[in-house]
Amino acid sequence: MALIITNLTKKYNTQKPALTDYSININKGVLGLLGPNGAGKSTLMKIIATISKPSSGTLLLDGADIVQKPDTIRKVLGYLPQDFGVYPNLNAYEFLEYIAAMKGIGGKRLRQRIDLLLEGVNLTADAKRPIGTYSGGMKQRIGIAQALLNDPKVLIFDEPTVGLDPEERMRFRQLISDLAHDCIIILSSHIVSDIETIADEVAIMQDGKLITHAPQYDIIKQAEGRIFEVLLETNTLNQFKNQYKVIDTARQSDRIKVRYISTKDNVAPESISVTATLEDAYLFLTHKNG
């Protein structure tokens, strides 16, 4: 299964397009979308989910044009939008049955599937409570379950880990890795470490454009030799920030440990070169292109 997106542009009623000439080939496995606010991640996901139409460009799923024939993707699609709404008076069973009816899923095995999904997102014990009484993280988990109802082959999750506690994030990662071998999974997150643990490939977006798309390892390699750490006196930090792009700071007794981006020939005295993470590479690449 392959999704080939070519020269995709999306203009809302604003001057600046949300996506400009965006091309990417997406294959089976997990693709993590990273990008600052307004980069165009949700717009891209909505267009793939056929909720929104592109201004120009083509999207082919195994050769079929999904803009001309949205049903080709809709019947194999699971989608968790960013602003996922629930029906507060329905309980989890009723809600999933309702979504199943909307998607045309029925039959004897439906109840079994719902039970399995509720177990997968750890909501079995709360399945008979109205969703309106759920916490934000529980609502997010019912959103994840509804996206999986039709045994999808293309899964789109817009910020799926928002509101999930560390244990639930781990459970979500497990769920995704169980599905990843025969699906296209596209997910966005502001939590780079989530993408780091889940995604096979990473696409970094900025201002509606694709900066880079590669296996995670290759993205990290682009920042190798560019990330440094140094211990500073606290009162010199502001001055340091004027000179270097600071990624992170951490107190270390009476001093401050600073992680920053630079080149080998322009490092602060007593700096050490450190191994880059995906977060470093993301900040390095968006800083370079920003």
The footprint of ligand ATP (CB under 6 A) covers: 12, 14, 18, 35, 37-43
* Residue among 40 and 54 whose Cβ is closer to ligand ATP: 40
The amino acid sitting at 279 is E
Smallest distance, Å, CB 145 to ligand ATP?
Answer: 22
Smallest distance, Å, CB 160 to ligand ATP?
Answer: 13
Smallest distance, Å, CB 36 to ligand ATP?
Answer: 7
Q: In angstroms, rounded to a whole number, what is the distance separating the alpha carbons of residues 54 and 80?
A: 20
- Strand-pair partners of 259: 229, 248
- Strand-pair partners of 108: none
Smallest distance, Å, CB 23 to ligand ATP?
Answer: 17
Smallest distance, Å, CB 44 to ligand ATP?
Answer: 7
Q: In angstroms, rounded to a whole number, what is the distance separating the alpha carbons of residues 261 and 61?
A: 39
- Strand-pair partners of 256: 232, 251
* Residue among 79 and 260 whose Cβ is closer to ligand ATP: 79
The 8-class DSSP code of residue 18 comes to: S
Smallest distance, Å, CB 155 to ligand ATP?
Answer: 17
* Residue among 149 and 203 whose Cβ is closer to ligand ATP: 203
In this structure, is the dihedral angle defined by the CA atoms of residues 167, 168, 173 and 176, taken in order, positive or negative? positive
Query: Cβ contacts of residue 101 below 8 Å, gap of 6+?
Result: none
* Residue among 48 and 256 whose Cβ is closer to ligand ATP: 48
Q: In angstroms, rounded to a whole number, what is the distance separating the alpha carbons of residues 6 and 120?
A: 35
* Residue among 161 and 262 whose Cβ is closer to ligand ATP: 161
* Residue among 29 and 81 whose Cβ is closer to ligand ATP: 81
Q: In angstroms, rounded to a whole number, what is the distance separating the alpha carbons of residues 121 and 142?
A: 7
